[in-house]
């Protein structure tokens, strides 16, 4: 029996679902019950009432959010090494330090954070709803972390004062996109539309026609009249873009923009994860409670 069939059989036996992020390997996206951006995956994990096990094919903070929101389900991360480096950049000490400097400013944390940081925040956001979350707050100054680029993007649109915590937080994969590379591609493909993720630098965002979360880019590509796109986000999204739009052309803005952490989930690891029910993500309830409140406040914001 081939590996795919073995996974499908185990999935049925264990009442499991597989959720995969838009950056996962093509074969992982193809076997998943649902592929999406970080907010869609969190929502899906809550909606699947009959599922007893969720195999989270993504990185640590996404599986943690699912475990926080679904304490009664078994949330499995197939590879414990799949950790988002940006999520490690905002520590609880940093949040406390910033709060002493700006005691009246609400703390908004990007979902790309560990559970302990979420537990010390007022509200979470993702790249899909960061603008609406910040707009929903009755404050002119906001502590925001860890992604400085996303924070600057939100400040540009909302006009609010964003204090980045830490000052330097970034995604190593998205910083690989350079405006010069995109300008050269634009000269070579003058009919192409440029889409980039808000984790890209200010200079890169400035040469884009569309800025959005991974799933928002997928939606935009589908609905746009444009037939050709230059894509400024992690390479894994190319699989979904091409699959959903076979008649359109997609050009990655930088070939090397690969998030190695997202590639650690393989079909073999998904199989072992389901078979041995590992690695179970458990967040102590003392931390989970506050983190859940911050995530639930985010879901209340219309976006």
Residues in contact with ligand 13P by CB under 6 A are: 22, 37-38, 112, 126-128, 171, 197, 199, 213-214
> What is the 8-class DSSP label of residue 245?
-
Nearer to ligand 13P, 64 or 199 (CB): 199
Residue 85 interacts with which of ligand 13P, ligand SF4, none, CB < 5 to 8 Å by class = ligand SF4
**Rounded to an integer, what distance in angstroms lies between the CA atom of residue 175 and that of residue 196?**
11
Q: Which of residues 177-206 bind ligand SF4 (CB under 6 A)?
A: 199
User: Residue with structure tokens 């980045």?
Assistant: 164
Where does this chain touch ligand SF4 (CB under 6 A) — which range of 1-9, 72-80, 81-89, 122-130?
Answer: 81-89
**Of 73, 71, 55, 52, residue with least CA distance to 63:** 55
Residue 253 interacts with which of ligand SF4, ligand 13P, none, CB < 5 to 8 Å by class = none
Where does this chain touch ligand SF4 (CB under 6 A) — which range of 25-33, 44-52, 132-140, 256-264?
Answer: 256-264
Nearest 5°: CA angle at 146, between 231 and 74? 85
Q: For the CB of residue 226, give the shortest distance to ligand SF4 in the complex, in Å.
A: 24
Residue 23 CB contacts under 8 Å (≥ 6 apart), including other chains: 58, 214, 234, 235, 236, 237, 259, 262
The verdict on 262 binding ligand SF4 (CB under 6 A) reads: yes
Nearer to ligand SF4, 175 or 301 (CB): 175
Among 31, 39, 41, 59, binds ligand SF4 (CB under 6 A): 59
Nearer to ligand SF4, 257 or 288 (CB): 257
**Rounded to an integer, what distance in angstroms lies between the CA atom of residue 166 and that of residue 184?**
33
Phi then psi dihedrals of residue 254, to 5 deg: -155, 115
Among 259, 267, 281, 298, binds ligand SF4 (CB under 6 A): 259
Phi then psi dihedrals of residue 282, to 5 deg: -130, 125
Where does this chain touch ligand SF4 (CB under 6 A) — which range of 41-49, 83-91, 115-123, 182-190?
Answer: 83-91
- Transcribe 114-131 into DSSP letters: -HHHHHTSSEEE-TTTHH
């Amino acid at each position: 029996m081939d590996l795919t069939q073995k996974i499908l059989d185990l999935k049925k036996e264990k009442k499991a679902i597989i959720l995969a992020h838009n950056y996962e390997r093509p074969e992982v996206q193809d076997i998943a019950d649902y592929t999406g951006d970080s907010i869609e995956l969190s929502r899906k994990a809550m909606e699947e009432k009959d599922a007893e096990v969720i195999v989270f094919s993504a990185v640590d903070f996404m599986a943690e959010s699912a475990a926080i929101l679904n304490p009664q389900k078994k949330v499995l991360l197939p590879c414990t090494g799949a950790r988002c480096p940006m999520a490690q950049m905002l520590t609880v000490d940093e949040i406390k330090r910033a709060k002493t400097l700006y005691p009246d400013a609400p703390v908004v944390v990007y979902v790309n954070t560990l559970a302990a940081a979420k537990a010390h925040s007022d509200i979470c956001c993702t790249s899909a709803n960061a603008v609406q979350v910040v707009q929903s707050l009755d404050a002119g100054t906001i502590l925001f972390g860890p992604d400085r680029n996303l924070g600057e993007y939100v400040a540009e649109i909302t006009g609010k004062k964003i204090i980045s915590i830490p000052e330097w937080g970034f995604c190593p994969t998205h910083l690989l996109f350079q405006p010069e590379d995109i300008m050269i591609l634009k000269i070579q493909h003058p009919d192409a539309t440029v889409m980039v993720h808000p984790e890209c630098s200010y200079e890169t965002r400035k040469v884009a026609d569309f800025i959005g979360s991974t799933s928002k880019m997928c939606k935009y590509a589908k609905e746009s009249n444009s037939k050709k796109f230059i894509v400024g986000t992690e390479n894994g999204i190319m699989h979904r873009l091409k699959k959903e739009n076979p008649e359109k052309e997609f050009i990655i803005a930088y070939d090397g923009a690969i998030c190695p952490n997202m590639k650690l989930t393989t079909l073999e690891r998904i199989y072992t994860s389901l078979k041995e029910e590992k690695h179970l993500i458990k967040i102590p309830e003392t931390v989970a409670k506050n983190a859940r409140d911050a995530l639930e406040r985010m879901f209340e914001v219309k976006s």
